[in-house]
Amino acid sequence: QGLKPIVTTESPAPVFGTTTKLASDLPATDSFLGKNKVPDLQKFFQKPDGLPVHLKRGVPDRLLYRTTMALTIGGTIYCLVALYMASQPRNQ
């Protein structure tokens, strides 16, 4: 008798009927890719100018940062007021 393998050694049937295409098989259309901006942005964001990364692009970043902070503080105040009102007994 001996030990018999539990798992069959045959390869499973393919799940999908179509084969996958490799990237090398696709046509070389680089028109939609454009220029790689990552190295330029890395140089820009790694410049040692003392600014945090989230404020490096100037006025738009400052506007987004201040809006986010205002909404956060306003939401916290709103939640505290709602909790205070919910903790008060109702008048009958």
80 domain residue, yes or no:
yes
Query: Above pLDDT 70, what percent of the chain?
Result: 72
- CATH number of the CATH domain containing 83: 4.10.91.10
Q: What is the dihedral of CA 28, 34, 36, 38, to 10 degrees?
A: -130
Q: Please give the model's pTM, rounded to 2 decimal places.
A: 0.51
74 domain residue, yes or no:
yes
58 domain residue, yes or no:
yes
Q: How many domains does the chain have?
A: 1
The three-state secondary structure class of 29 is coil
Ramachandran sector of residue 58 (left: φ over 0; alpha: ψ -120 to 50; beta: rest)? left
Domain of residue 77: give its range: 37-87
| 9-51 per-position pLDDT tens digit | 677 676 776 666 666 665 655 556 788 889 998 998 898 888 8
Predicted local confidence at residue 57, as pLDDT: 87
CA 37, chain centre distance (Å): 19
48 domain residue, yes or no:
yes
